[in-house]
Amino acid sequence: MLLSITTPVPAQEAHACPIGYSAMSHVQCLPPELLSYILELACFAEAPAHRQKAAVLGRVSKLWREIVFSTPAIWTSFYVSKYEDPRDFGEPLLRSGGLLVDVHVVDEATNLKAAREQLNALAEHSSRWRNVEISHPDAFTLFGKTVPLVLPNLRSLLVKVTFQRMSPSLMYFYCFPDYPSTPDICLGWMDRMYPSLRNLDLDDIELKPEETEDFLGFLEAHTTLERLALRNTWIQHAYTPSRTVVLPHLKELQLRGIPSSEILQWISAPNLKTLAVEKSSQLRYWTPVDIKSNYATATNITLIRFSTSPDALLNVLQVVPLASEVKFASTDLGSRYSFCTENILLEHKLPLLTSLHIQGVVSLPRVKAVAEAYKETLTEVKVHCLDLGLPEESFLKDYDERDEALEWLKDQETFRFDIDHSLYAFGGRYRSHEDQRSRQKMVCAGEGCRVSL
Protein backbone atom coordinates (compact mmCIF):
# COMPACT_ATOMS: atom_id res chain seq x y z
CA MET A 1 0.00 0.00 0.00
CA LEU A 2 2.83 2.37 0.80
CA LEU A 3 4.68 1.53 -2.40
CA SER A 4 1.93 3.02 -4.52
CA ILE A 5 2.51 6.37 -2.84
CA THR A 6 6.13 6.49 -3.97
CA THR A 7 5.19 6.90 -7.63
CA PRO A 8 5.99 10.26 -9.27
CA VAL A 9 3.66 13.10 -8.33
CA PRO A 10 1.57 14.52 -11.24
CA ALA A 11 2.67 17.85 -12.70
CA GLN A 12 -0.33 19.72 -11.26
CA GLU A 13 0.68 18.58 -7.75
CA ALA A 14 4.45 18.98 -8.15
CA HIS A 15 4.37 22.41 -6.52
CA ALA A 16 3.74 20.72 -3.17
CA CYS A 17 7.39 19.64 -2.98
CA PRO A 18 10.57 21.25 -4.31
CA ILE A 19 11.73 20.06 -7.70
CA GLY A 20 14.33 17.31 -7.59
CA TYR A 21 12.97 15.56 -4.53
CA SER A 22 13.12 11.79 -4.56
CA ALA A 23 10.04 9.55 -4.50
CA MET A 24 10.45 9.12 -0.74
CA SER A 25 10.49 12.89 -0.38
CA HIS A 26 7.06 13.06 -2.01
CA VAL A 27 5.79 10.71 0.68
CA GLN A 28 7.26 13.04 3.29
CA CYS A 29 5.27 15.86 1.69
CA LEU A 30 1.95 14.17 2.34
CA PRO A 31 -0.27 15.95 4.86
CA PRO A 32 0.40 14.56 8.36
CA GLU A 33 -3.27 13.57 8.77
CA LEU A 34 -3.19 11.47 5.59
CA LEU A 35 0.15 9.86 6.42
CA SER A 36 -1.11 9.07 9.93
CA TYR A 37 -4.17 7.33 8.49
CA ILE A 38 -2.05 5.34 6.02
CA LEU A 39 0.33 4.17 8.73
CA GLU A 40 -2.61 3.23 10.96
CA LEU A 41 -4.07 1.01 8.20
CA ALA A 42 -0.65 -0.54 7.57
CA CYS A 43 -0.25 -1.43 11.24
CA PHE A 44 -3.68 -2.98 11.72
CA ALA A 45 -3.24 -5.02 8.56
CA GLU A 46 -0.55 -6.93 10.49
CA ALA A 47 -2.70 -7.65 13.57
CA PRO A 48 -2.07 -9.16 16.06
CA ALA A 49 1.56 -8.05 15.40
CA HIS A 50 0.52 -4.46 14.72
CA ARG A 51 2.63 -3.02 17.54
CA GLN A 52 5.75 -4.69 16.13
CA LYS A 53 4.79 -3.31 12.72
CA ALA A 54 4.45 0.17 14.21
CA ALA A 55 7.94 -0.09 15.70
CA VAL A 56 9.34 -1.08 12.28
CA LEU A 57 7.60 1.79 10.48
CA GLY A 58 8.88 4.17 13.15
CA ARG A 59 12.44 3.42 12.04
CA VAL A 60 11.89 4.64 8.47
CA SER A 61 12.44 8.30 9.31
CA LYS A 62 12.17 10.79 12.10
CA LEU A 63 8.87 12.08 10.69
CA TRP A 64 7.35 8.61 10.54
CA ARG A 65 8.49 7.89 14.07
CA GLU A 66 6.86 11.06 15.35
CA ILE A 67 3.62 10.28 13.51
CA VAL A 68 3.48 6.64 14.60
CA PHE A 69 4.10 7.45 18.25
CA SER A 70 1.71 10.41 18.21
CA THR A 71 -1.20 8.56 16.56
CA PRO A 72 -3.25 7.16 19.48
CA ALA A 73 -5.45 4.94 17.28
CA ILE A 74 -2.45 2.73 16.40
CA TRP A 75 -2.10 1.74 20.07
CA THR A 76 -5.71 0.85 20.87
CA SER A 77 -5.62 -2.94 20.30
CA PHE A 78 -4.07 -5.32 22.83
CA TYR A 79 -3.53 -9.02 22.18
CA VAL A 80 -2.93 -11.43 25.04
CA SER A 81 -0.38 -14.08 24.03
CA LYS A 82 2.28 -16.32 25.49
CA TYR A 83 4.99 -13.93 24.23
CA GLU A 84 3.62 -10.84 26.01
CA ASP A 85 4.77 -9.49 29.34
CA PRO A 86 2.10 -7.62 31.34
CA ARG A 87 4.61 -4.85 31.98
CA ASP A 88 4.83 -4.20 28.22
CA PHE A 89 1.28 -2.85 28.12
CA GLY A 90 2.13 0.31 30.07
CA GLU A 91 3.76 2.33 27.29
CA PRO A 92 1.18 1.52 24.56
CA LEU A 93 -1.62 2.41 27.00
CA LEU A 94 -0.03 5.83 27.48
CA ARG A 95 0.38 6.31 23.72
CA SER A 96 -3.29 5.50 23.16
CA GLY A 97 -4.04 8.86 24.69
CA GLY A 98 -7.13 7.88 26.65
CA LEU A 99 -8.97 6.40 23.64
CA LEU A 100 -11.15 3.32 24.04
CA VAL A 101 -9.21 0.10 23.54
CA ASP A 102 -9.89 -3.42 22.25
CA VAL A 103 -8.79 -6.52 24.16
CA HIS A 104 -8.23 -9.84 22.35
CA VAL A 105 -7.43 -13.24 23.85
CA VAL A 106 -7.12 -15.42 20.75
CA ASP A 107 -3.80 -17.21 21.21
CA GLU A 108 -4.79 -20.75 22.24
CA ALA A 109 -1.20 -21.51 23.23
CA THR A 110 -1.35 -19.00 26.08
CA ASN A 111 -1.75 -20.83 29.36
CA LEU A 112 -4.44 -19.78 31.81
CA LYS A 113 -2.07 -18.18 34.33
CA ALA A 114 -0.32 -15.98 31.75
CA ALA A 115 -3.62 -14.92 30.21
CA ARG A 116 -5.04 -13.94 33.60
CA GLU A 117 -1.93 -11.93 34.48
CA GLN A 118 -2.10 -9.96 31.24
CA LEU A 119 -5.85 -9.35 31.54
CA ASN A 120 -5.38 -8.18 35.11
CA ALA A 121 -2.78 -5.67 33.91
CA LEU A 122 -5.21 -4.34 31.31
CA ALA A 123 -8.07 -4.34 33.84
CA GLU A 124 -6.50 -1.31 35.49
CA HIS A 125 -7.84 0.59 32.45
CA SER A 126 -11.11 -1.37 32.18
CA SER A 127 -13.15 1.83 31.96
CA ARG A 128 -11.66 2.23 28.47
CA TRP A 129 -12.45 -1.27 27.22
CA ARG A 130 -14.51 -1.04 24.03
CA ASN A 131 -14.44 -4.53 22.47
CA VAL A 132 -13.51 -7.76 24.24
CA GLU A 133 -12.84 -10.99 22.35
CA ILE A 134 -11.96 -14.18 24.24
CA SER A 135 -11.53 -17.24 22.02
CA HIS A 136 -9.61 -19.70 24.15
CA PRO A 137 -9.91 -23.22 25.68
CA ASP A 138 -10.23 -21.55 29.11
CA ALA A 139 -12.59 -18.82 27.95
CA PHE A 140 -15.21 -19.74 30.58
CA THR A 141 -12.72 -19.25 33.43
CA LEU A 142 -11.15 -16.13 31.92
CA PHE A 143 -14.54 -14.51 31.53
CA GLY A 144 -15.80 -15.54 34.95
CA LYS A 145 -12.67 -14.72 36.94
CA THR A 146 -10.87 -11.95 35.04
CA VAL A 147 -13.28 -9.80 33.01
CA PRO A 148 -14.47 -6.96 35.29
CA LEU A 149 -18.12 -6.89 36.36
CA VAL A 150 -18.50 -3.23 35.36
CA LEU A 151 -17.37 -1.99 31.94
CA PRO A 152 -19.05 1.36 31.21
CA ASN A 153 -17.87 1.69 27.59
CA LEU A 154 -18.01 -1.94 26.44
CA ARG A 155 -19.66 -2.21 22.99
CA SER A 156 -18.96 -5.80 21.97
CA LEU A 157 -18.32 -8.97 23.98
CA LEU A 158 -17.40 -12.29 22.37
CA VAL A 159 -16.60 -15.31 24.55
CA LYS A 160 -15.88 -18.63 22.81
CA VAL A 161 -14.55 -21.89 24.20
CA THR A 162 -12.22 -23.51 21.67
CA PHE A 163 -10.48 -26.85 21.33
CA GLN A 164 -6.88 -27.13 22.43
CA ARG A 165 -4.92 -27.69 19.24
CA MET A 166 -2.86 -30.85 19.03
CA SER A 167 0.29 -31.59 17.08
CA PRO A 168 -0.03 -33.93 14.05
CA SER A 169 1.92 -36.61 15.91
CA LEU A 170 -0.61 -36.61 18.75
CA MET A 171 -3.54 -36.59 16.35
CA TYR A 172 -2.26 -39.95 15.07
CA PHE A 173 -3.04 -41.50 18.46
CA TYR A 174 -6.09 -39.40 19.41
CA CYS A 175 -8.91 -38.94 16.92
CA PHE A 176 -10.42 -35.93 18.69
CA PRO A 177 -9.02 -33.70 21.45
CA ASP A 178 -10.81 -33.68 24.78
CA TYR A 179 -13.42 -30.97 25.02
CA PRO A 180 -12.80 -28.81 28.09
CA SER A 181 -15.31 -29.43 30.86
CA THR A 182 -17.27 -26.51 32.24
CA PRO A 183 -15.60 -25.17 35.42
CA ASP A 184 -17.72 -25.10 38.55
CA ILE A 185 -17.79 -21.32 38.84
CA CYS A 186 -20.56 -18.74 38.67
CA LEU A 187 -20.43 -16.12 35.93
CA GLY A 188 -22.39 -13.63 38.05
CA TRP A 189 -24.68 -12.34 35.33
CA MET A 190 -26.80 -10.24 37.68
CA ASP A 191 -23.71 -8.39 38.92
CA ARG A 192 -22.43 -7.51 35.44
CA MET A 193 -23.13 -4.00 34.18
CA TYR A 194 -22.25 -3.12 30.58
CA PRO A 195 -24.53 -0.13 29.84
CA SER A 196 -23.10 0.51 26.34
CA LEU A 197 -23.22 -3.12 25.16
CA ARG A 198 -24.39 -3.54 21.56
CA ASN A 199 -23.14 -7.01 20.61
CA LEU A 200 -23.09 -10.16 22.78
CA ASP A 201 -21.74 -13.44 21.36
CA LEU A 202 -21.47 -16.52 23.60
CA ASP A 203 -20.14 -19.73 22.05
CA ASP A 204 -20.10 -22.92 24.16
CA ILE A 205 -20.47 -20.86 27.34
CA GLU A 206 -22.88 -23.06 29.25
CA LEU A 207 -25.85 -21.55 31.04
CA LYS A 208 -26.60 -23.62 34.10
CA PRO A 209 -30.29 -23.99 35.07
CA GLU A 210 -29.74 -22.02 38.28
CA GLU A 211 -28.18 -19.15 36.27
CA THR A 212 -30.85 -18.88 33.57
CA GLU A 213 -32.99 -16.35 35.43
CA ASP A 214 -29.88 -14.28 36.19
CA PHE A 215 -28.89 -14.31 32.52
CA LEU A 216 -32.36 -13.20 31.43
CA GLY A 217 -32.15 -10.46 34.06
CA PHE A 218 -28.84 -9.40 32.52
CA LEU A 219 -30.47 -9.20 29.08
CA GLU A 220 -33.40 -7.29 30.51
CA ALA A 221 -31.00 -4.71 31.95
CA HIS A 222 -29.16 -4.33 28.62
CA THR A 223 -31.90 -3.30 26.22
CA THR A 224 -29.29 -1.51 24.08
CA LEU A 225 -28.31 -4.85 22.52
CA GLU A 226 -28.45 -4.85 18.72
CA ARG A 227 -26.98 -8.30 18.10
CA LEU A 228 -27.25 -11.42 20.26
CA ALA A 229 -25.67 -14.77 19.33
CA LEU A 230 -25.93 -17.83 21.58
CA ARG A 231 -24.36 -21.09 20.41
CA ASN A 232 -24.47 -24.36 22.37
CA THR A 233 -25.21 -22.34 25.48
CA TRP A 234 -27.83 -24.66 26.92
CA ILE A 235 -27.57 -28.02 28.61
CA GLN A 236 -29.68 -30.92 27.38
CA HIS A 237 -32.58 -30.21 29.75
CA ALA A 238 -32.71 -26.45 29.58
CA TYR A 239 -34.56 -24.47 32.22
CA THR A 240 -37.77 -22.86 30.95
CA PRO A 241 -38.24 -19.37 32.43
CA SER A 242 -41.64 -17.95 33.26
CA ARG A 243 -41.18 -14.70 31.33
CA THR A 244 -40.05 -13.29 28.00
CA VAL A 245 -37.37 -10.61 27.75
CA VAL A 246 -38.09 -7.76 25.33
CA LEU A 247 -35.09 -6.30 23.47
CA PRO A 248 -36.45 -3.33 21.49
CA HIS A 249 -33.20 -2.49 19.64
CA LEU A 250 -32.22 -6.04 18.67
CA LYS A 251 -31.61 -6.37 14.91
CA GLU A 252 -29.92 -9.81 14.72
CA LEU A 253 -30.61 -12.91 16.82
CA GLN A 254 -28.79 -16.24 16.54
CA LEU A 255 -29.90 -19.23 18.60
CA ARG A 256 -27.61 -22.12 17.67
CA GLY A 257 -27.97 -25.66 18.99
CA ILE A 258 -31.20 -25.18 20.95
CA PRO A 259 -32.18 -28.36 22.84
CA SER A 260 -35.81 -27.31 23.38
CA SER A 261 -38.48 -25.43 21.46
CA GLU A 262 -39.30 -23.40 24.59
CA ILE A 263 -36.08 -21.41 24.13
CA LEU A 264 -37.77 -19.53 21.28
CA GLN A 265 -39.97 -17.94 23.94
CA TRP A 266 -37.05 -16.44 25.87
CA ILE A 267 -36.65 -13.31 23.76
CA SER A 268 -38.98 -10.94 21.98
CA ALA A 269 -37.48 -8.55 19.43
CA PRO A 270 -40.07 -6.15 17.97
CA ASN A 271 -37.55 -4.68 15.48
CA LEU A 272 -35.68 -7.84 14.50
CA LYS A 273 -34.28 -8.11 10.95
CA THR A 274 -32.14 -11.26 10.96
CA LEU A 275 -33.06 -14.55 12.67
CA ALA A 276 -30.92 -17.71 12.66
CA VAL A 277 -32.08 -20.79 14.58
CA GLU A 278 -30.27 -24.13 14.71
CA LYS A 279 -32.02 -27.15 16.17
CA SER A 280 -29.78 -29.38 18.27
CA SER A 281 -29.10 -32.82 16.83
CA GLN A 282 -30.43 -34.27 20.11
CA LEU A 283 -33.76 -32.48 19.72
CA ARG A 284 -35.76 -35.19 17.94
CA TYR A 285 -39.29 -34.39 19.12
CA TRP A 286 -40.47 -30.83 18.64
CA THR A 287 -43.12 -29.46 20.98
CA PRO A 288 -45.08 -26.66 19.24
CA VAL A 289 -44.76 -23.40 21.13
CA ASP A 290 -46.65 -20.13 20.96
CA ILE A 291 -43.99 -17.69 19.80
CA LYS A 292 -46.63 -15.00 19.23
CA SER A 293 -45.07 -11.97 17.53
CA ASN A 294 -41.58 -12.33 19.02
CA TYR A 295 -39.92 -12.32 15.59
CA ALA A 296 -42.70 -10.92 13.39
CA THR A 297 -40.51 -8.24 11.77
CA ALA A 298 -37.64 -10.57 10.74
CA THR A 299 -36.93 -10.58 7.01
CA ASN A 300 -33.72 -12.64 6.80
CA ILE A 301 -34.33 -16.17 8.11
CA THR A 302 -31.86 -19.07 8.45
CA LEU A 303 -33.08 -22.41 9.81
CA ILE A 304 -30.54 -25.18 10.41
CA ARG A 305 -31.49 -28.85 10.89
CA PHE A 306 -35.17 -28.01 10.58
CA SER A 307 -35.61 -29.93 7.34
CA THR A 308 -35.92 -33.17 9.34
CA SER A 309 -38.79 -31.84 11.46
CA PRO A 310 -41.89 -30.68 9.56
CA ASP A 311 -43.68 -29.51 12.73
CA ALA A 312 -40.72 -27.39 13.82
CA LEU A 313 -40.27 -25.86 10.40
CA LEU A 314 -43.92 -24.93 10.10
CA ASN A 315 -43.98 -23.61 13.68
CA VAL A 316 -41.22 -21.08 12.91
CA LEU A 317 -42.36 -20.07 9.43
CA GLN A 318 -45.80 -19.20 10.73
CA VAL A 319 -44.37 -16.42 12.92
CA VAL A 320 -42.20 -14.70 10.29
CA PRO A 321 -44.74 -13.37 7.77
CA LEU A 322 -42.32 -10.73 6.43
CA ALA A 323 -39.56 -13.22 5.54
CA SER A 324 -37.97 -12.29 2.20
CA GLU A 325 -34.58 -14.06 2.37
CA VAL A 326 -34.86 -17.65 3.60
CA LYS A 327 -32.15 -20.29 3.94
CA PHE A 328 -32.66 -23.90 5.02
CA ALA A 329 -29.53 -25.88 5.86
CA SER A 330 -29.44 -29.55 6.80
CA THR A 331 -26.77 -32.24 6.71
CA ASP A 332 -28.93 -35.02 8.17
CA LEU A 333 -29.97 -36.45 4.82
CA GLY A 334 -30.72 -39.93 6.14
CA SER A 335 -34.00 -39.05 7.86
CA ARG A 336 -37.31 -39.88 6.19
CA TYR A 337 -38.26 -36.23 6.72
CA SER A 338 -35.01 -34.91 5.25
CA PHE A 339 -36.70 -33.19 2.35
CA CYS A 340 -39.92 -31.78 3.80
CA THR A 341 -38.90 -28.18 3.15
CA GLU A 342 -40.44 -27.88 -0.31
CA ASN A 343 -43.79 -29.26 0.85
CA ILE A 344 -43.91 -26.89 3.83
CA LEU A 345 -43.22 -23.90 1.59
CA LEU A 346 -46.15 -24.93 -0.61
CA GLU A 347 -48.39 -25.51 2.41
CA HIS A 348 -47.51 -22.22 4.10
CA LYS A 349 -46.94 -19.36 1.69
CA LEU A 350 -44.49 -16.54 2.45
CA PRO A 351 -45.93 -13.63 0.44
CA LEU A 352 -42.71 -11.56 0.39
CA LEU A 353 -40.18 -14.32 -0.39
CA THR A 354 -37.52 -13.09 -2.82
CA SER A 355 -34.43 -15.24 -2.07
CA LEU A 356 -34.53 -18.98 -1.34
CA HIS A 357 -31.54 -21.21 -0.48
CA ILE A 358 -32.05 -24.89 0.33
CA GLN A 359 -29.21 -27.16 1.47
CA GLY A 360 -30.26 -30.77 0.88
CA VAL A 361 -32.44 -31.26 -2.20
CA VAL A 362 -33.44 -34.63 -3.59
CA SER A 363 -36.35 -33.70 -5.85
CA LEU A 364 -35.78 -30.91 -8.33
CA PRO A 365 -39.40 -31.22 -9.57
CA ARG A 366 -40.52 -30.18 -6.09
CA VAL A 367 -38.11 -27.23 -6.22
CA LYS A 368 -39.70 -26.34 -9.54
CA ALA A 369 -43.13 -26.47 -7.92
CA VAL A 370 -41.96 -24.06 -5.22
CA ALA A 371 -40.41 -21.72 -7.80
CA GLU A 372 -43.65 -21.72 -9.77
CA ALA A 373 -45.65 -20.94 -6.63
CA TYR A 374 -43.38 -17.98 -5.77
CA LYS A 375 -42.56 -16.89 -9.31
CA GLU A 376 -44.04 -13.43 -8.86
CA THR A 377 -41.71 -12.50 -5.99
CA LEU A 378 -38.60 -14.69 -6.38
CA THR A 379 -35.39 -13.11 -7.63
CA GLU A 380 -32.88 -15.79 -6.52
CA VAL A 381 -32.99 -19.57 -5.99
CA LYS A 382 -29.99 -21.62 -4.85
CA VAL A 383 -30.09 -25.35 -4.11
CA HIS A 384 -27.56 -27.89 -2.87
CA CYS A 385 -28.49 -31.28 -4.26
CA LEU A 386 -27.19 -34.82 -3.99
CA ASP A 387 -24.19 -35.07 -6.29
CA LEU A 388 -24.56 -38.72 -7.33
CA GLY A 389 -27.93 -40.22 -8.05
CA LEU A 390 -31.03 -40.05 -5.88
CA PRO A 391 -32.07 -42.03 -2.79
CA GLU A 392 -34.09 -45.17 -3.42
CA GLU A 393 -37.12 -43.72 -1.67
CA SER A 394 -37.26 -40.85 -4.16
CA PHE A 395 -40.64 -39.90 -5.53
CA LEU A 396 -39.24 -40.00 -9.04
CA LYS A 397 -39.73 -43.02 -11.28
CA ASP A 398 -36.81 -42.07 -13.49
CA TYR A 399 -34.50 -39.19 -14.18
CA ASP A 400 -36.36 -37.63 -17.09
CA GLU A 401 -38.63 -35.67 -14.79
CA ARG A 402 -35.63 -34.38 -12.87
CA ASP A 403 -33.80 -33.27 -16.00
CA GLU A 404 -36.91 -31.53 -17.28
CA ALA A 405 -37.27 -29.62 -14.01
CA LEU A 406 -33.59 -28.67 -14.04
CA GLU A 407 -33.82 -27.33 -17.57
CA TRP A 408 -36.90 -25.30 -16.64
CA LEU A 409 -35.16 -23.81 -13.61
CA LYS A 410 -32.05 -22.87 -15.56
CA ASP A 411 -34.06 -21.23 -18.33
CA GLN A 412 -36.04 -18.89 -16.08
CA GLU A 413 -35.34 -15.23 -16.62
CA THR A 414 -37.34 -13.89 -13.68
CA PHE A 415 -34.94 -15.25 -11.05
CA ARG A 416 -31.33 -16.35 -10.79
CA PHE A 417 -30.81 -20.09 -10.32
CA ASP A 418 -27.65 -21.69 -8.85
CA ILE A 419 -27.06 -25.37 -8.14
CA ASP A 420 -24.27 -26.96 -6.12
CA HIS A 421 -23.36 -30.17 -4.29
CA SER A 422 -24.93 -31.19 -1.00
CA LEU A 423 -22.47 -31.45 1.87
CA TYR A 424 -22.59 -33.71 4.87
CA ALA A 425 -21.68 -32.79 8.45
CA PHE A 426 -17.89 -32.80 7.89
CA GLY A 427 -18.01 -30.66 4.77
CA GLY A 428 -17.51 -33.36 2.11
CA ARG A 429 -19.87 -34.14 -0.72
CA TYR A 430 -22.84 -36.21 0.31
CA ARG A 431 -23.02 -39.46 -1.64
CA SER A 432 -26.14 -41.58 -1.60
CA HIS A 433 -26.57 -45.32 -2.04
CA GLU A 434 -23.73 -47.39 -3.46
CA ASP A 435 -25.95 -49.03 -6.07
CA GLN A 436 -26.60 -45.65 -7.70
CA ARG A 437 -23.00 -44.52 -8.10
CA SER A 438 -22.78 -46.17 -11.45
CA ARG A 439 -25.59 -44.13 -12.95
CA GLN A 440 -24.53 -42.08 -15.94
CA LYS A 441 -26.79 -39.13 -15.33
CA MET A 442 -25.89 -36.97 -12.33
CA VAL A 443 -27.32 -33.84 -10.84
CA CYS A 444 -23.81 -32.45 -10.46
CA ALA A 445 -20.60 -33.65 -12.09
CA GLY A 446 -17.04 -32.39 -12.11
CA GLU A 447 -15.72 -29.40 -10.19
CA GLY A 448 -18.62 -27.17 -11.19
CA CYS A 449 -22.24 -28.16 -11.59
CA ARG A 450 -22.42 -29.32 -15.19
CA VAL A 451 -25.52 -31.26 -16.13
CA SER A 452 -25.90 -33.23 -19.35
CA LEU A 453 -29.40 -32.62 -20.64
Q: How confident is the model at residue 451 (pLDDT cuts 50, 70, 90)?
A: very low
285-303 average pLDDT score? 89
In this prediction, residue 317 carries a pLDDT of 92
Predicted pLDDT at 158:
96
Grade residue 182 by pLDDT with cuts at 50, 70 and 90: low
User: Residue 198 is which amino acid?
Assistant: R
Q: How many CA atoms lie within 13 A of 379 on its CB side?
A: 6
pLDDT at 384: 80
pLDDT on residue 453: 24
Which DSSP category does 127 fall into? G
The pLDDT of residue 321 is above 60: yes
- Check if the beta carbon of residue 238 is closer than 8 Å to that of residue 262: yes
Return the C-alpha torsion angle 280, 282, 284, 289, nearest 10: -50
pLDDT exceeds cutoff 70 at 390: no
> Among 361, 376, 452, which residue's Cα sits nearest to residue 415?
376
Cβ neighbours of residue 28 closer than 8 Å, sequence gap 6 or more:
17, 61, 63
Looking at residue 8, its pLDDT comes to 42
At 210-235, the pLDDT tens digits run 888 899 999 999 999 999 999 998 87
CA dist., res. 143 & res. 308, Å (int):
36
Q: What is the DSSP letter of 292?
A: T
Average pLDDT over residues 257-262: 87
pLDDT exceeds 90 at position 75 = no
What average pLDDT does the chain have? 78
Residue 225 sits at φ, ψ, to 5 deg, of -60, 135
Tell me: pLDDT of 56 over 60: yes
- For 90, left (φ over 0), alpha (ψ -120 to 50), or beta? alpha
Higher pLDDT, 165 or 186: 186
Asked whether residue 35 carries a pLDDT value surpassing 70, the answer given is yes
402-449 tens-digit pLDDT: 778 888 988 888 999 988 766 554 455 544 433 343 333 333 333 333
Does 106 score more than 80 pLDDT?
yes
Q: Which of 320, 412, 325 is nearest to 364 (CA)?
A: 412
- The rounded distance, in Å, linking the Cα atoms of 115 and 288 is 44
Tell me, what's the pLDDT at 381? 93
- Rounded Cα–Cα distance for residues 114 and 87 (Å): 12
Kindly state the helix (H) or strand (E) to which residue 171 belongs, with its residue range: helix 168-171
Q: Say whether pLDDT at 277 is over 90.
A: yes
**Rounded average pLDDT over 278-300:** 86
C-alpha to C-alpha distance for 31 and 45, rounded to whole angstroms: 22
Give the N- to C-terminal CA distance of the chain in Å, as an integer: 49
Residue 38 pLDDT grade (very low, low, confident, very high; cuts 50, 70, 90): confident
- Write the CB contacts of 34 (distance below 8 Å, at least 6 apart in sequence): none
Check residue 251 and give its pLDDT.
97
199 pLDDT more than 80: yes
